């Protein structure tokens, strides 16, 4: 089987994943198939790449229709202040530096810093309860401009906790 056949198989696998509601698998398979197809001569892949790119656009559309991951203020304000590496529209959650939360917390009123920590803990508990129910649906975050499973969001948002805990306990 050559690479073009593998890219075609990836296309079919991505369609099946979309139909099954597994958008994360669909995106992973599609991205890999595009990389593979681009490694071959242009004349061989001229038809498959636009079809694969169409699948990525469909995945984007479906993710935006997913259940929203709602993050309100003041936690949302803190997160937006940490969009320092890039912009969410380009890099999703990788545009944010959780370490930048330290400064925001230090400049906030003690009650606000405590409220942010409570809000984060509540969000993590909500995501953990979704995991326990084996809900595989993705959650779309408008702030991060990205869709992930509850487990992936919980894992990512947990990285923010040390930057908040350390500053709310030390004089805040």
135 and 51 within one domain:
no
89 and 156 within one domain:
yes
92 and 28 within one domain:
no
99 and 140 within one domain:
yes
For residue 12, give its domain range.
Answer: 3-65
61 and 75 within one domain:
no
The residue assigned the tokens 């890099």 is 91
What is the torsional sign of CA 94, 25, 135, 59?
positive
Among 42, 65, 88, which residue terminates a domain?
Answer: 65
155 and 76 within one domain:
yes
Q: In DSSP terms, which residues pair with 63 in a beta bridge?
A: none
What pLDDT score does 168 carry?
A: 59
160 and 111 within one domain:
yes
Among 13, 30, 65, which residue terminates a domain?
Answer: 65
The residue assigned the tokens 């649906």 is 137
The ranges of the chain with pLDDT < 70 are 1-3, 41-46, 133-137, 166-172
Whole-angstrom distance between the N-terminal and C-terminal Cα of the chain? 62
Inter-residue contact 79 to 93 (CB < 8 Å): no
Please indicate, yes or no, whether the overall pTM of this predicted structure exceeds 0.85: no
Q: Where are the alpha helices (DSSP H) in 21-170?
A: 23-38, 42-45, 48-64, 75-81, 88-91, 101-107, 110-132, 150-158, 161-169
56 and 117 within one domain:
no
């Amino acid at each position: 089987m050559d690479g073009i056949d593998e890219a075609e198989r990836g296309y079919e696998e991505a369609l099946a994943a979309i139909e099954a509601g597994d958008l994360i698998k669909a995106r992973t398979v599609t991205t890999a198939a595009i990389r593979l197809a681009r490694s071959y001569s242009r004349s061989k892949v001229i038809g498959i790449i636009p079809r694969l790119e169409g699948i990525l656009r469909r995945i984007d559309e479906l993710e935006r229709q997913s259940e929203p991951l709602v993050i309100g203020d003041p936690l949302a304000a803190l997160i937006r202040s940490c969009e320092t590496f890039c912009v969410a529209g380009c890099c999703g959650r990788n545009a944010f530096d959780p370490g930048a939360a330290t400064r925001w917390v230090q400049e906030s009123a003690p009650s606000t810093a405590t409220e942010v920590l409570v809000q984060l803990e509540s969000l993590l508990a909500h995501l953990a309860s979704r995991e326990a129910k084996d809900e595989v649906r993705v959650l779309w975050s408008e702030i991060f401009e990205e869709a992930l499973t509850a487990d992936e969001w919980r894992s990512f948002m947990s990285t923010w906790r040390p930057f908040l805990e350390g500053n709310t306990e030390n004089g805040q």
